[in-house]
Amino acid sequence: MKDRFRHFLAIDWSGAKGARQKGIALALADAVGGPPVLVRHVWSREEVMAVLRDDLPADTLVGLDLGMALPHADCGAFFPGWDDTPQDAPSLWELIDRLASGDPNLGANSFIAHPELRTYFRDGSETGVHFGCDGANHGRGRFRVTEQAQAAMGCKPYSNFNLVGAAQVGKSSLTGMRMLHRLRGHLPVWPVDFLPDRGSVVVEIYTSLAAIEAGRSSAKAKMRSLGELNNALSALGSPPVEGIGKIDDHATDALLTAAWLRKVAHEPHRWAPADLTPEIARTEGWTFGAL
């Protein structure tokens, strides 16, 4: 894996309403060294998609901070009991994009509102009867195998079927899946797709994993000052970021994770987690760095 990638782009994603998102942040690290660089802009989701499709530097490892699929292994299906449940992650992406095709800004509200699918989610008004595997309303919802691996590493993942609360990841993941469908044929997504010998690749990231490897706890993964960020960058062997003015936790998440991707992407074991089977890769995908 040494010298496989020349650039490392970390994207802190957002599923919030609106055309542009202050919660989206992009940071780029170069394989030759130097501090990661924040790409300053108030991004729309469509603009990020255009960058990934048409404007990536050569041989870029792209980390997207979102869930690339819904749980499947726990119940044997994304939507157990529904005759039209998709059979793999790309089919799931296609379904979401098709049912939400009329939603602007890569939104997914129409998908969530589908009368046969809304019963699998928890939203702000109700918990669907299928929020848990056996029909019970389990408190935290369903988890992918990779999210169970995250938990074993000290993180606190949230179910992609959960659409409510400050820490929910469901909405951002569903909007991201719409984008992944539209990137088919342009950019491979590991491990749903095989890792090619060359070219750019998308992986799922969880920024707390980068923070933990930089010496922070999961409870203190968020950094809201330049001093905190630079201490964490130093722990990863990265030069500090200087003179970038006001900074928030979206920017620090992206900057730290870009540096972390550069540090660890050449390590073969990162690409071969013990619980990542071909079936899991095909259906649920994986979070890069969850071992």
All residues at 6 or more sequence positions from 140 whose CB lies less than 8 Å from its CB, including other chains: 158, 159, 162
pLDDT at 194: 96
pLDDT at 106: 97
Listed in sequence order, the DSSP H helices in the chain are 45-54, 89-99, 109-112, 145-152, 170-182, 207-213, 226-235, 249-264, 278-283
Q: What is the DSSP letter of 40?
A: -
Q: How many CA atoms lie within 13 A of 161 on its CB side?
A: 27
Three-point CA angle 222, 228, 232, nearest 5°: 85
Q: What is the DSSP letter of 289?
A: T
CB 119 within 8 A of CB 78: no
Phi, psi for 62 (deg, rounded to 5): -100, 125
pTM, two decimals, is 0.96
d(CA 138, CA 129): 10
Please count the other Cβ atoms lying within 10 Å of the Cβ belonging to residue 174. Answer: 28
Specify the residue for token string 């299928």.
130
Judge if the upstream peptide bond of residue 240 is cis by omega within 30 degrees of 0: no
- Average pLDDT per block of 10 residues along the chain, 291 residues long: 93 92 95 96 96 97 98 96 97 98 96 95 86 70 95 92 84 97 97 97 97 91 92 97 87 97 97 97 98 93
Say how far residue 264 (Cα) sits from the centre of its chain. 17
Q: How far is CA 26 from CA 22, 44, 117, 136, in A?
A: 11, 12, 32, 39
